[in-house]
Amino acid sequence: MDRTIEPFKIKMVEPIKLTTREQRETILRSAHFNMFQIAAEDVIIDLLTDSGTSAMSSKQWSGILDGDESYAGARSWYRFESVIRDLTGMPHVLPTHQGRASERILFELVGGPGKVIPGNYHFDTTRGNIEHSGARAVDLLTEEASHTRSRYPFKGNIDVNQLNRLIDDVGAEQIPLCVITITNNSVGGQPVSLENLRQTHDICQRSGIKLFLDAARFAENAWLIHERESGQKHRSVREIVREMFDLADGAMISAKKDGLVNIGGVLLMREDDLAQRADSLLILTEGFVTYGGLAGRDLEAMAQGFTEVLDEDYLAYRIASVAYLGQRLLDAGIQIIEPPGGHAIYIDACEFCPHIPAEQYPGQSLVCAFYRHAGIRAVEIGSVMFGKNHSHKELTRLAIPRRVYTKSQIDYVADAIIEVHQQRQTLRGLRITEASQTLRHFTAKFAEL
Ligand code: F0G
């Protein structure tokens, strides 16, 4: 039978509190229309992020009990190091408490005023850490990525011509490294092709620039290469993953995504000297090099998660379940970034409510409408998150936690969004009444217009 089902069964459940529309209206107002200010208990289906929200397996939970909590040289550390080395081939493995800790250490070492860090589209914390070091972050998207309806299979790619031009313009000596984010979160969880990675590798190598991966969703990217890139179908995901890392000089990984854990990160490097300097910073701010700010049990859970995520039945289900939600919305006439990517569906908010101009944050307006209507928590990825200068599109992201929600719950989400779409003329724009200078989406306050 040709049908994709969840390749796992539920062993433990967590109740969801159901709320009424009236209750949600009050909650929304007291949170100043900001989803980060709402208690998770007041959310019915939480699609705020796929980060740290995975359901762990029974083997991961048994690893939690089995974790070795010794300060140095714990058994859990050796297992974690060997799993990551096996997966990536990288000699230097540094555990960190999450992805942005890896970013902070790396950019403190290679960033600084005058430096330029190009990428296919830096995630907000990556951009934040680059800029915090005094360096300049540059996003070099391809033309295909700007067309919502384009079904180009690798809209996450970096534009290699623009990369060449940037190197000519600013000089290779100003560019310590180039970051390729797999999958490309900010343009819709879209994958980067192996061919694009190979080209970027060649350009960087010729110019003496290091190539680093932001590999939070490396397994989803590898599966999409397996599915979409010519000549890759016969290869295993593990082989593809290995080739992706073989092309890089290092990587930052938030294990909260494809590591299938609730907390954890990794920083990987080939170069001994850079790794030594990173070790010193790690000890200063995260923890000793064999635990990096984590408990031994977290290292166990990560080692198991990084193994399980390569299961191809799991990846087939994962990608199919995200595509299912996307197709239901498309069938109802709701424009999403096509084709659906790895971890989330991104709704084009300007197309959803064309009567709300970009400066009135249509993406945030949709976020509020989904919460009000059905208790669904989504996140805006647009002018609120990136500010006007860096905003690429006005999007509302529905991120799907891994192994958490059933198909019936995903149908509830699709039905609710389709109902909101039917009443879209009633949606109102927003204005910001209070905001911080960096990463303002976490704390900004809004008022309805
Ligand atoms: N890189 C990418 C591509 C990410 O998506 C994230 C986090 C990070 C780095 C930072 O990792 O959270 O472990 O410090 N993305 C989450 C999201 C927050 O919702 O997309 P972290």
| End-of-domain residue from the set 308, 340, 365 | 308
What ipTM goes with this model?
Answer: 0.99
Q: Which atom of ligand 1 has the smallest separation from the CA of 50?
A: 19
Question: Could you tell me the distance, in angstroms and rounded to a whole number, from the CA of residue 187 to the centre of ligand 1?
Answer: 14
Cα–Cα distances in Å, from 86 out to 83, 111, 232, 242, 258? 5, 29, 21, 9, 16
State the burial class of residue 258 (Cβ atoms within 10 Å of its Cβ: 0-12, 13-18, 19+): buried
| Mean pLDDT value across residues 305-313 | 98
Q: Which atom of ligand 1 has the smallest separation from the CA of 184?
A: 3
216 in catalytic set:
yes
Q: What is the pLDDT of residue 391?
A: 55
pLDDT for 63 beyond 70: yes
- Do 302 and 315 fall into the same domain? no
Q: Is 251 helix (H, G, I), strand (E, B) or coil?
A: strand
Q: Measured from the CB, is residue 342 less than 6 Å from ligand 1?
A: no
- Do 292 and 358 fall into the same domain? no
Q: What is the pLDDT of residue 78?
A: 98
Q: For 114-151, how does the pLDDT look when each residue is reduced to its tens digit (9 = 90+)?
A: 999 999 999 989 999 999 999 999 999 999 999 999 99
Q: What is the pLDDT of residue 242?
A: 98
Question: Could you tell me the distance, in angstroms and rounded to a whole number, from the CA of residue 21 to the centre of ligand 1?
Answer: 31
219/352 Cα distance (integer angstroms): 31
- The terminus-to-terminus CA distance of the chain in angstroms comes to 52
Q: What CATH number did the domain enclosing 217 receive?
A: 3.40.640.10
Nearest to 403 by CA among 2, 12, 3: 12
Q: For 252-265, how does the pLDDT look when each residue is reduced to its tens digit (9 = 90+)?
A: 999 999 999 999 99
pLDDT for 187 beyond 90: no
Does 125 reside within a domain? yes
Paired tokens of 112: 């600084």
pLDDT for 217 beyond 60: yes
Does 100 reside within a domain? yes
Q: What is the pLDDT of residue 296?
A: 97
337/148 Cα distance (integer angstroms): 5
pLDDT for 278 beyond 70: yes
Q: What is the pLDDT of residue 389?
A: 64
Does 7 reside within a domain? no
Domain that holds residue 393: 21-50+311-448
Q: Measured from the CB, is residue 190 less than 6 Å from ligand 1?
A: no
- Do 192 and 45 fall into the same domain? no
Does 14 reside within a domain? no
Q: Which atom of ligand 1 has the smallest separation from the CA of 49?
A: 19
pLDDT-derived band at 246 (thresholds 50, 70, 90) equals: very high
| End-of-domain residue from the set 279, 308, 337 | 308
46 in catalytic set:
no
201 in catalytic set:
no
pLDDT for 247 beyond 80: yes
Paired tokens of 424: 């879209």
Helices 194-207, 160-170: inter-axial angle, 10-degree rounding: 20
Q: Measured from the CB, is residue 256 less than 6 Å from ligand 1?
A: yes
Does 1 reside within a domain? no
Q: For 422-443, how does the pLDDT look when each residue is reduced to its tens digit (9 = 90+)?
A: 999 999 999 999 988 777 888 8
- Do 391 and 280 fall into the same domain? no
Testing ligand 1's pocket by substitution, the residue of 256, 380, 381 carrying the most ligand atoms inside 8 A of its CB is 256
- Do 174 and 217 fall into the same domain? yes
- Do 256 and 353 fall into the same domain? no
Does 15 reside within a domain? no
Question: Could you tell me the distance, in angstroms and rounded to a whole number, from the CA of residue 383 to the centre of ligand 1?
Answer: 18
Q: What is the pLDDT of residue 261?
A: 98
Q: For 67-124, how does the pLDDT look when each residue is reduced to its tens digit (9 = 90+)?
A: 999 999 999 999 999 999 999 999 999 999 999 999 999 999 999 999 999 999 999 8
- Do 262 and 388 fall into the same domain? no
Q: Measured from the CB, is residue 124 less than 6 Å from ligand 1?
A: no
Q: What CATH number did the domain enclosing 34 receive?
A: 3.90.1150.10
Q: Among 209-218, 332-341, 387-396, 433-442, which stretch is predicted with the lowest mean pLDDT?
A: 387-396
Nearest to 251 by CA among 278, 225, 224: 278
Q: Is 235 left (phi over 0), alpha (psi -120 to 50) or beta?
A: beta
124 in catalytic set:
yes
Protein residue with its CA nearest to atom 2 in ligand 1: 123
Q: What is the pLDDT of residue 390?
A: 56
**Strand partners for 93:** 268
- The active-site residue, picked from 46, 124, 249, 298, is 124
Q: Measured from the CB, is residue 53 less than 6 Å from ligand 1?
A: no
Q: Measured from the CB, is residue 185 less than 6 Å from ligand 1?
A: yes
Q: For the chain, give the mean pLDDT.
A: 96
pLDDT for 274 beyond 70: yes
- Do 261 and 374 fall into the same domain? no
| Mean pLDDT value across residues 39-62 | 98
Q: For 153-162, how does the pLDDT look when each residue is reduced to its tens digit (9 = 90+)?
A: 999 999 999 9
Q: Where are the beta strands (DSSP E) in 16-164?
A: 45-46, 92-96, 116-119, 136-139
The number of angstroms, rounded, from the C-alpha of 314 to the middle of its chain's C-alpha atoms is 18
Q: Is 92 helix (H, G, I), strand (E, B) or coil?
A: strand
- Do 135 and 215 fall into the same domain? yes
**What does the buried/exposed string (b/e) look like for 71-94 if buried means 16 or more CB atoms within 10 Å of the residue's CB?**
eeebebbebbbebbeebbebebbb
Q: Measured from the CB, is residue 120 less than 6 Å from ligand 1?
A: no
* Residue type at 447 in one-letter notation: A
Nearest to 190 by CA among 80, 41, 337: 337
Does 13 reside within a domain? no
172 in catalytic set:
no
pLDDT-derived band at 268 (thresholds 50, 70, 90) equals: very high
- Do 440 and 418 fall into the same domain? yes
Q: Domain total for the chain?
A: 2
- Do 93 and 178 fall into the same domain? yes
Testing ligand 1's pocket by substitution, the residue of 132, 257, 263 carrying the most ligand atoms inside 8 A of its CB is 257
Q: Measured from the CB, is residue 221 less than 6 Å from ligand 1?
A: no
- Do 297 and 186 fall into the same domain? yes
Q: What is the pLDDT of residue 386?
A: 78
| End-of-domain residue from the set 255, 283, 308 | 308
pLDDT-derived band at 387 (thresholds 50, 70, 90) equals: confident
Percent of the chain with pLDDT over 70: 99
Does 5 reside within a domain? no
- The active-site residue, picked from 50, 159, 214, 279, is 214
pLDDT for 223 beyond 60: yes
